[in-house]
Amino acid sequence: MAPANRNPRVLVCDELASEANEIFRRHGCELETRLGLDEAALIHAVVGFDAVVVRSATRITKAVIAAADRLRVIGRAGVGVDNIDCDAATARGVVVMNTPDGNTLSAAELALAHLFALARNLPRADRAARSGWKKKGLMGTELTGKTLGVIGLGRIGGAVAERAIGLKLRVLAYDPFLAQATESPVRGVELATLEQLLAASDFVTLHVPLNEHTRHLLSRERLAALKPGARVINAARGGLIDEAALIEALDRGHVRGAALDVLEEEPPSATNPMLARDDVILSPHLGASSDEAQRNVAIDIAEQIVGFLVDGVAKNAVNAPTADAATLRRLAPYLKLAERAASFLAQRLDEPLARLELELGGEFATFDPSHARLAVQVGALRPSLGDAVNFVSAPRLARERGLELLHAPERGAERPALALVAVGRSGRRHRVAGDVFAGTPKFTELDALRIDLEPEGALLVTRHADLPGVVGTVGTLFGRHAVNIRRIELGPIGDGEALGLWSLYAVPSDAAVAELAALPALRSVALVRF
């Protein structure tokens, strides 16, 4: 809480609805709005402020956070927090909040608008009406009785599904975290495998985050598995669809049309073939572009920041559970260790998680264990659900997806700070253990292998033949693709095989990973991002 002799000071760095400003003033906050600041200007501007509010334009870097002498909370009026250095904020005891619910309806309604536009060829009809009132080639289709496939049944996907049921569509839904569920969380929606959904749907709409597991989710093979004549909608993230493969499927007539609010390259180049197609409807990333959505996220972030500054309640905290700044600074490296361990296991397992088993030791075990549990849940869920996961939403999302977290009693100071086991739906298990050294979290064990690995950046995990020359072959391949290796951890895992952990300075290209996976000595390749 702010000292009793002064009111909290709030710096607003991007345009914010007037209702949000009124909330700050009503609760005694001193408000200052300064727009368009670059890093150098922000470093001077943040001095003396308790809170900073941004949307997507302003970047809050490590240098800005280091310069902020009083900063306690950063508020993002929106979902994504990639413009905020959350690790640096956590290390300084600064809470980062987002507003994951404010644009839900706006995004869902945009997907439905694209659904109607695809069904009745509305953009083409508008052009035809303006150039001679021509109806030829504009025959549409009714939605009633058709099948809509919803990929991702989270907040936005669920809202789309609910409304589609009201439109008398049959709705199938696929969500890997609901693979073992017997009943859909949305009444009237039928759960299906991805293969079943693709084969049966007249329209398919995507509502998942973009990550290593979902990039090109609609690949050439999956587009070919679509029901002939199906139409595709993507109002989630560019990169979920292989755009080159989509163009091929449209050319063949296998896919009848597509509506895209997002593209792999935004804004697209003038030569992007999507721009010239009549069977593709485009909009310039408008999911959150409604008066109501912008007003909602502004009000939400203002109320959340006031709640934290005045009452000490951190709602929708992205980077930390509720704790005072001093405790948070001590906790920070351990929270990072727990989150990164869970994220690593969730990405490496490559199947839905069923259970996590957590053990704590050393200094980590002296804190409230709820902090560690929350960090583990966030780390496990964020690779698949994105920024919708935070330290408030994680327990609910874990319950909805049947993710069980077991916490054993503390094991004593001589044990690693953390040991975490992930169990997949098939029963496959992986374990990682780690500790904090001079403020830096490191993995020290992976299954039966002793390692010394800082979980940062991009990490390739390889299982390969334990033979001479494999490391040199991989290194040569990386060299051809200009991939710089930061550190290598290697060790035998039995049956003539070895495990390789390749820490990289940057995320390798899809081509580099594909070429690596094709090497005869390689048994498996997984890309993990932290």
For every residue of 146-190, DSSP letters joined together read -EEEEE--SHHHHHHHHHHHHTT-EEEEE-GGGTT-SS-SSTTPE
Tallying the residues shown for the chain, one arrives at: 530
pLDDT band at 322 (very low <50, low <70, confident <90, very high): low
CATH number of 104-282: 3.40.50.720
Matching fold, domains 104-282 and 323-455: no
| Model confidence pTM above 0.85 | no
| Element at 471 (helix H, strand E) | helix 470-480
Written out in words, the top-level CATH class of the domain with range 1-100+290-319 is alpha beta
Say yes or no to pLDDT of 296 above 50: yes
Say yes or no to pLDDT of 3 above 50: no
Domain 323-455 grouped into CATH 3.30.1330.90: yes
- The reported pLDDT for the residue numbered 99 is 92
Q: Could you report the per-residue pLDDT of 164-203, keeping only the tens digit for each?
A: 999 999 999 999 877 666 788 899 999 999 999 999 999 9
Domain ranges of the chain: 1-100+290-319, 104-282, 323-455, 457-530
Query: If 0-12 CB within 10 Å is exposed, 13-18 middle and 19+ buried, where does residue 488 land?
Result: middle
Q: Is 237 considered catalytic here?
A: yes
Q: Is 464 considered catalytic here?
A: no
Contact 30, 8 (CB under 8 A): yes
CATH number assigned to the domain with residue range 457-530, chosen from the 4 options 3.30.230.10, 1.10.760.10, 3.30.70.260, 2.40.50.140? 3.30.70.260
Catalytic residue among 55, 92, 216, 237: 237
- The reported pLDDT for the residue numbered 349 is 85
- The reported pLDDT for the residue numbered 346 is 92
Say yes or no to pLDDT of 25 above 80: yes
Q: Could you report the per-residue pLDDT of 60-112, keeping only the tens digit for each?
A: 999 999 999 999 999 999 888 889 998 888 878 788 999 988 889 999 999 99
Q: Is 285 considered catalytic here?
A: yes
Catalytic residue among 220, 285, 329, 355: 285
Instruction: Report the range of poorest mean pLDDT among 320-324, 340-344, 469-473.
Output: 320-324
Q: How many CB atoms lie within 10 A of CB 57?
A: 12
Catalytic residue among 130, 183, 187, 266: 266
Q: Could you report the per-residue pLDDT of 418-438, keeping only the tens digit for each?
A: 999 999 888 899 999 999 999
